């Protein structure tokens, strides 16, 4: 595929500033190419914010960052209707949500009323301020981060919002060799300037090409089986999981999987989806959508382990 070269140019440009973290970068690209929001979970200092900022520069789109805190208000994100003393009229002041890439930093630090302010824009790509609705410019992507360690002063994200994220990426530490490269890069005086690789118009062309990536009917049915097995494990011979899973994945998981595996195949330079593409993404798509039972949580059962059992049981076509 001709555009595979463009994808590699984007990755190579990001590599000037980001060491390692290939899974996170691929996830961001997939989200960008399929209109899927991304939740990044990891301890501080793993280049989550830097990666998002760098991606915005390389693909030449607008980027805004909002630090989520307990005292944040919905109007701080979406904007508000304000009274202009000079004209005696009400005017709309748009918030930082009017951008292409919105980084919601430490999203679990804000209360439910702020979280709910994101629901409309994440699903409908529009914002309602007072009685006025505004469409958000394309592309639009919410990239949220959360720290898994500190629970004090943190809020659990509502299930309705979690379901609107295509992926939940667990960002891990770099290798020893990568850590060395990061330290060398940070301690040098060399200024790194990232080049713009593509325009918005070229990005839209890439999105159109992904729609043409082929996926066999058998693989589509395989995806549906995996999702349905999270809801009704007994029907798939997974009786033990029926006690461990409280709620399975929603239809959004199936829709996101259908879109994401095409983009994953595209990033790998293929014009068709293979079982490998599904295997690479299944945990990222399901880990935030499966709710474990109280008994499973008490036994420290991991969601990723539950997904592994489902994938092992269902035959690959």
Where in 36-96 does DSSP place strands (E)?
Answer: 37-41, 63-67, 79-84, 89-94
Q: What is the pLDDT of residues 196-222, one digit of tens each?
A: 888 888 888 888 889 899 999 999 999
Asked if the structure places residue 48 within a domain, the reply is yes
Asked if the structure places residue 56 within a domain, the reply is yes
The answer to whether residues 309 and 219 belong to one domain is yes
The answer to whether residues 103 and 245 belong to one domain is no
| Domain, as residue range, for 298 | 213-313
For a pLDDT cut of 70, what percent of the chain falls above it?
97
CATH of the domain at 141: 3.40.50.300
The answer to whether residues 91 and 19 belong to one domain is yes
Phi-psi region of 106 (alpha: psi -120 to 50; beta: other; left: phi over 0): left
Closest CA to 207 of 285, 156, 259: 259
**CA distance readout (Å), 71 to 115, 128, 150:** 12, 21, 18
Q: What is the pLDDT of residues 229-279, one digit of tens each?
A: 999 999 888 888 888 898 999 999 999 999 999 999 999 989 899 999 999
Residue that terminates a domain, selected from 175, 202, 229: 202
The count of domains in the chain is: 2
pTM beyond cutoff 0.75:
yes
Asked if the structure places residue 226 within a domain, the reply is yes
Residue that terminates a domain, selected from 148, 170, 202: 202
Closest CA to 254 of 230, 274, 232: 230
| Separation between Cα atoms, residue 199 and residue 197, nearest integer Å | 7
CATH of the domain at 220: 1.10.8.80
The answer to whether residues 218 and 290 belong to one domain is yes
The answer to whether residues 34 and 145 belong to one domain is yes
Q: What is the pLDDT of residues 131-169, one digit of tens each?
A: 888 899 888 999 998 877 655 556 778 788 889 999 999
């Amino acid at each position: 595929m001709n555009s595979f070269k463009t994808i590699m140019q984007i990755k190579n440009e990001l590599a000037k500033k980001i060491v390692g973290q290939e899974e996170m970068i691929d996830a961001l690209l997939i989200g960008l190419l399929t209109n899927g929001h991304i939740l990044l979970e990891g301890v501080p200092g793993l280049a989550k914010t830097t990666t998002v900022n760098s991606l915005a520069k390389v693909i030449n789109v607008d980027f805004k960052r909002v630090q989520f805190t307990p005292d944040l208000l919905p109007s701080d994100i979406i904007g508000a209707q304000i009274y202009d003393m000079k004209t005696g009229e009400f005017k709309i002041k748009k918030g930082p949500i009017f951008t292409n890439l919105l980084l919601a930093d430490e999203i679990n630090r804000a209360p439910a009323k702020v979280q709910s302010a994101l629901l409309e824009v994440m699903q409908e790509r529009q914002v309602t301020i007072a009685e006025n609705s505004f469409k958000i410019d394309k592309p639009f992507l919410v990239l949220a981060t959360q720290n898994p360690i500190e629970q004090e002063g943190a809020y659990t994200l509502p299930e309705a919002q979690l379901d609107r994220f295509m992926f939940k990426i667990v960002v891990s530490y770099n290798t020893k060799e990568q850590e060395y490269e990061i330290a060398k890069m940070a301690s040098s005086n060399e200024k790194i300037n990232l080049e713009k690789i593509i325009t918005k118009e070229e990005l839209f062309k890439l999105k159109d090409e992904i729609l043409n990536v082929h996926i066999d009917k058998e693989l589509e049915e395989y995806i549906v089986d995996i999702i349905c097995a999270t809801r009704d494990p007994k029907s798939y011979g997974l009786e033990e999981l029926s006690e461990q899973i409280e709620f399975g994945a929603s239809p959004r998981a199936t829709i996101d999987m259908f879109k994401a595996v095409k983009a994953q195949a595209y990033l790998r330079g293929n014009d068709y989806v293979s079982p490998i593409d599904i295997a690479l993404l299944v945990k990222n798509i399901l880990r935030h959508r499966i709710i474990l039972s109280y008994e499973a949580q008490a036994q420290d059962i991991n969601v990723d382990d539950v997904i592994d059992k489902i994938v092992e049981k269902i035959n690959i076509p």
